[in-house]
Each structure stands twice: as structure tokens, then as C-alpha cells.
Chains A and B, each alone.
Chain A
Amino acid sequence: MWVLLLLPFIGLLWVPFYNSLEPALFGFPFFYWYQLAWVPISSLLIWLVYRSRTPDETP
């Protein structure tokens, strides 16, 4: 599961993949909505890892 934490790095650091205007969404060029979309996606991925790990002894 911890490998999920690497996905935001790949998705956001591989710039050529998203450096374009199209497809636009709600008036936002791809470059902008793609990066903004990674904010909730990253939260979700971290949450998935958080849920899957065994809780440690210290609270």
C-alpha cells in the first residue's frame, strides 16, 4: 500500500504529460485542472495508506 504514496510524485513531476491547454474543463486549461485534481487525489491516497496500516503502540 505504501507505494500509493509515490503516485503524486509521478503524476506531478512528469510535467510533459500535463503541459497542455486541452482538454479544458469548466474553462480551466488542462494544465490547471489536472494539477488541482491531484490535491483531493493525494489526500485520498494518503488516507488509503493510513487506513491500511496497522496502528502503532503509541497513540
Chain B
Amino acid sequence: MSDQIDWVALAIFVFFFALVTVMGFFAARWKSGPVSAHLDEWGLGGRQFGTWITWFLVGGDFYTAYTVIAVPALVYAVGAYGFFALPYTVIVYPFVFAVMPLLWKVAHANGHVTAGDVVHGTYNSRGLELAVAITGMVATMPYIALQLIGMGVVIKAIGLTGEFPIIAAFIILALYTYSSGLRAPALIAFVKDIMIYIVVLVAVVVVPAKLGGYSAVFAAANDAFTAKGGATGLILKPSQMLPYATLALGSALAAFMYPHTLTGIFASKSADTIRKNAILLPAYTLLLGLIALLGYMAYAAKIAVATPNDVVPMLFKTLFPSWFAGFAFAAIAIGALVPAAVMSIGAANLFTRNVWKSYVDPGISHAGEAAVAKIASLVVKLGALTFILFLPTQYALDLQLLGGLWILQTFPALVFGLFTRWFRAEGLLLGWAAGILWGSWTAWSNGLKPLATLDLGGASYVFYVGLGALILNVAVAAVATVIVGLLSPRGATARS
């Protein structure tokens, strides 16, 4: 990458950044409500978002800026295997359609704000509530850090060096999230998503046209992988098929357990809003599939990069005029702000409801909750910023990967209760612990690769460790439920 500042790109970038900053502060007065009077207002935008706002908000926060950088980077580096993000973000929607409206109804009927609230409401167990809340907060922190990395990549591409730009961007983000709550990212998401759609649609038409069509793009990538060798290529090696499928399934089950995606669900106006979004949100998946192909276009454009993360910015710098590159970089940077804001709000809601209210101040007022959450969101973001400034980038990547497997272990506690009350809190807590411990240990001993190996009858199977941990989790939860049931039959424990 050149160190020259690209002034045209920078000017366009700053213009759009300033625009969304104004919108972020203005958002407090949008769809007016007393933002600081109630956590439902600050943390869920008043629980009033209809189909379109939810579409932009969830789309803007599930398909993050880091995705736009990292998915093409992975596809560039390894080929077909990096494409697992596509099946993952397709099969997630039948799941969302079937399950999330039920979760919304429970949350709506009982005034729940977080996953921890839902679990406590269902099982009346402080232990399980705390486990779910802490998992959510810990899994979210490195995710926010990744958004900063995504933003850093494009800021570097414009030619700005040093850490000042990213610190400035993050302080602005922290301030308007503090004052406007979820309304800020919901409003900014409109701008961000429209910009990303424009960038990607232009890229997938113009880039192949410049490079000789999609056949040429795939052929160039194929040549590069043939030269490179190893576990790369336009299709999967036989040994990659099970990891591919299990990564897609495990990621899909984990996706809506995260505080930021659940916040989008709980902020919707109705169960039907969520159902309609399960039909409409795949539009973003189509976009993601096309974004992933930017990784192959880099080969056709004969771009050389220092790290795969530079593939997307480099492609835009090489093939487009400065003004459009600046527009694309602004789209990606703003794309980092939306998820980072929603993630910090989701984590702050968890802290407020399931740690502060449960353990420090049970009698807290509605306004008090909003005040605690606002401070917590600042702390969460400062934590993520400190993480990026003082620790190696690799830590954030590793922790985010572990975060995915951790958050997946909250699935039984959060989802099973919607369909059956058979499981007991003690069993679910034990299953959660077993899944987290086995999964973390396995990933750790594999050098932080998200894969586990199982030898059965002479054949060995390699699969996504998170899914393996989930199966163990459910098995332990079931066995423990049976044992607890024998020791203390149903009637003996009070249930809400």
C-alpha cells in the first residue's frame, strides 16, 4: 500500500463520516421517545421498529464491516472453503423464521431486554442467567475489536497513518451511542446499507467487465491456486467438506444468540416484523456472496497485497477513480460503526439487566437502568479500543473465533425453553460449562483452529468444534436433567 494520502478519497470519506455523525446525534429525537427515561428507549429504540427499519438495522449489524474485509480475504487466501459464509447466511433464515418470533413474544410479554432476562424468566435461575449474560458480554468484546480492525484497514488505504483517526472515529461513535442509544445505529444503518449496496453492485458489474468477465476471474483464481497448492482451490478438497458444512451450520445456530442480533430482534415492533425479515434479509446474503468473489477478482486484476485483509481496499484503489474508492472506504468504515454501536448496546443491556440489577441494585428505577447502560456502553467500547491499540491484532481474531463457540453454548438455555420445559436449569448450566470447557480446550490445543477431530472405526472426522461442543452440551444437559429429576422431583422446586 502506498503511504501517499489520497486527498480526493479522503475528502469523500470525511464528508460521509461527518454526515452520519450528525445523524447519530440527531437520532435521539427520531421516532421521539424519552431516551434516558427507560432502558426500552435507549437500549431497544422503544421496541417500535417496523419491517424496513429492522431490515436495515439487522442487515447493517449482522453483515459487518469486518465481513466485507475478511470474507474476500479468506476466499482470496484459500478459495472455496472461505465461501462457507454463504450457506451459513442462507440457512440462518429458516431458523430465524421458526424460532425468533417465539422468542420475541416471550420477551415482549414479559418486558425482557436481553437473553439473560429470557433465561431468568423461563428457569428462575440466577446462575444460568449470569452464565448467559457473561458469555454474551465476553463474546461481543472481540467482535467490536474486529470492527475497529475493519475500519483501520480502509483508513490505512486512504493513506492516513497512526492511530489518531481510529481513536477519533471511535470517540465520536461512543458519544452519539451514549446520547441516542439504539436509534443512532438504526438511523445510520440506512446510509450505510445503501452505500454498501451501491459499492458492491457497481463492483460486481464493473470489475468483471474490466477483467474479461466472470470466466476470466475464476480462471485467474484457478491458476493462482494451482500454483499455490495445498488446501486451496475453486472447489473443496474431500477433507474440507465436513468442516465446511459444520462451520456453516454451527455459525448459523450461533448467529442470533449474540447480543447485537438479539437486540435487533427485541427492538422489532411485532413477531410478524421478524417473519417478514426472515424473507427479506437474504438479499444481504446475495450481496455477501458477491462480495466474497472480490477475493477472486483480485487475482484477475493481478493485485499483490501484504496481507489478505488488504485485498478489498487494494482492488478499489487499483480499479476505480479516487472518488469512488473514497466512497467505498466510507461505506466500509460506516459499516463498522453500526455493528460496533449495536454490539456495545447489547453488551451494556446485559450488564445492566443481568449483572447490575441482579446483584448490585435490584430496586433500580427505569431511568437508573438507562443511566447504567449508557455508562456501560462507553466502558465496553473503551475496552475494545484498548484491546486494539495495545494487544496484537491476532488476539482479537482468536478471541472472536472462540467467542463464536462460546455464544453457541447459550443456545440450549435460550432456545429449548421456547419448545419444552423438560430441561432443568442445573442441567443446562452444567451442559453450558461442559461445552465451553471442552470446546475452548480443543480449539486451544489445535493451535486455535476452530476444528476438532474424532476418530471412529479407523476413519477420522474433522468438524467445527463449536458444533461438537453444542452436542456435548445438550447431552450433558439431558443426563443432568434426568439425575436432578431423580434427586428432587418437579414439585419440589418453585418455578415461575
Interface residues of A (CB under 8 A from B): 2, 5-6, 8-9, 12-16, 19-21, 24, 26-29, 31-32, 35-36, 38-40, 42-43, 45-47, 49-50, 55-56, 58-59
**Measured between alpha carbons, how far is A45 from B279 in the docked complex, in Å?**
9
For B287, give the chain A residue with the smallest CB separation: A39
Interface window among B55-63, B124-132, B242-250, B477-485: B242-250
Report the minimal beta-carbon distance from A5 to chain B, rounded to whole angstroms. Answer: 4
B93 and A35: CB pair below 8 A?
no
Docked-complex contact B98 and A5, CB < 8 angstroms: yes
Q: Given the known inter-chain contacts A9-B91, A43-B282, A46-B94, please indicate yes or no for A15 contacting B241, CB distance below 8 A.
A: yes
B217: nearest residue on chain A (CB-CB)? Answer: A27
Closest chain A CB from B239 CB (angstroms) = 12
Find out whether the CB atom of B234 lies under 8 angstroms from the CB atom of A5.
no
Q: Looking at the complex, which one of B249, B275, B276, B286 makes contact with A13 (CB distance below 8 Å)?
A: B249
- CB contacts (< 8 Å) of B87 on chain A: these are 12-13, 35, 38
Given A12-B90, A21-B234, A27-B214, verify A50-B279 contact (CB < 8 Å).
Answer: yes
Q: Is the CB of A35 within 8 A of B236?
A: no
Q: Given A21-B234, A42-B282, A50-B97, check contact A32 B90 (CB 8 Å).
A: no
Known pairs A27-B218, A40-B282 / 9 extra A-B pairs, C-beta < 8 Å: A2-B98, A12-B87, A12-B91, A31-B80, A43-B280, A49-B97, A50-B275, A56-B271, A58-B271
Is there an interface contact between A46 and B97, defined as CB atoms closer than 8 Å? yes
Least CB distance, A43 to chain B, in whole angstroms: 5
Q: Are B218 and A29 in contact (CB under 8 A)?
A: yes
- Which residues of the other chain, B, contact A36 by a CB distance below 8 angstroms? 86, 286, 289
Taking the closest CB of chain B, its distance from the CB of A44, in whole angstroms, is: 9
Known pairs A39-B282, A39-B289; A5 contacts B245 (CB<8 A): no
A-B contact count (CB 8 A): 108
Given A35-B289, A42-B282, decide whether A5 and B272 contact each other with a Cβ distance below 8 A. no
Q: A2-B98, A13-B248, A50-B279 are in contact. Are A42 and B235 (CB under 8 A)?
A: no
Instruction: Find out whether the CB atom of A47 lies under 8 angstroms from the CB atom of B235.
Output: no
With A20-B235, A46-B279, A58-B271 known as contacts, the answer to whether A13 contacts B245 (CB < 8 A) is yes
- Distance in angstroms from B355 CB to nearest chain A CB is 31
**Complex contact B213–A27 (CB within 8 A):** yes
* A42 near B90: Cβ-Cβ < 8 Å: yes
Flag if A21 contacts B285 (CB, 8 Å). Answer: no
In the complex, the answer to whether B90 meets A8 with C-beta atoms within 8 Å is yes
Contact A19 B94 (CB under 8 A): no
Contact call A42/B94, Cβ cutoff below 8 A: yes
Q: Is the CB of A46 within 8 A of B93?
A: yes
CA of A8 to CA of B80 in the docked complex: distance in angstroms? 19
A39→B285 contact, CB < 8 A = yes
A40 surroundings in chain B (CB, below 8 A): 282, 286
Q: B270 interface residue, CB < 8 Å from A?
A: yes
Interface string of B194-236 (1 = CB under 8 A from A): 0000000000000000000111111000000000000000111
The minimal Cβ–Cβ distance linking A58 to chain B, given in whole angstroms, is 6
